[in-house]
Structure 1
Amino acid sequence: MTKKLKISFKPMDIALIRRDKNRTDLKKDLGISPSTLAKMSKGEVVSLAVILKICEYLECNIEEVVEFVEDKTADANK
């Protein structure tokens, strides 16, 4: 049985804190829409183009923006 994964943007939050920035800065400086930020807060999929913009903005690799984590709720819903 394969384990279910979900997206986490926790690395991005850490990278933002380290750079003294926040998600509002992403909205203002990159033009990221409120709906995209809401998706990120819920751990939903966003486009790779958005992730690329964030990587360029933070001058970092993708691992500092997004990661896959085990979805423990997937097992609970069975």
Structure 2
Amino acid sequence: MPLIPSYKPLDITLIRRDKLKKHLRDELSISGTTLAKMSNRDFVSLSVIARICEYLNCRIEDVVEFIEE
């Protein structure tokens, strides 16, 4: 079975850091389109994930995981 990304770990990390996706959009200039892709479990670039990790001071697994479709 193919693997698809799940950004549920990001939601949990944002809650722990008292942040919102709006902060990612405003402070990191992540586009609304990219945030929509994440909500739809689409792939986003690794550079976006790296920027989020740096901003939240977390590991990649705190942002994305792969699940079976």
1:58 aligned onto 2:56? yes
TM-score by length of 1: 0.86
Q: How many residues align?
A: 69
1:15 aligned onto 2:13? yes
- The alpha carbon displacement at 1:51 in A equals 0.2
Q: Whose radius of gyration is greater, 1 or 2?
A: 1
Counterpart-to-counterpart distance in 2, 1:48 and 1:4: 19
Higher relative contact order (CA 8 A, sep 6+): 2
Equivalent residue runs for 1:1-78 within 5 Å: 3-71=1-69
Runs of 4+ in 1 over 2 A off after TM superposition: none
Counterpart-to-counterpart distance in 2, 1:65 and 1:46: 12
TM-score by length of 2: 0.97
CA RMSD of aligned residues (A): 0.6
Identity %: 58
- The alpha carbon displacement at 1:70 in A equals 1.2
Unaligned runs of 5+ in 1: 72-78
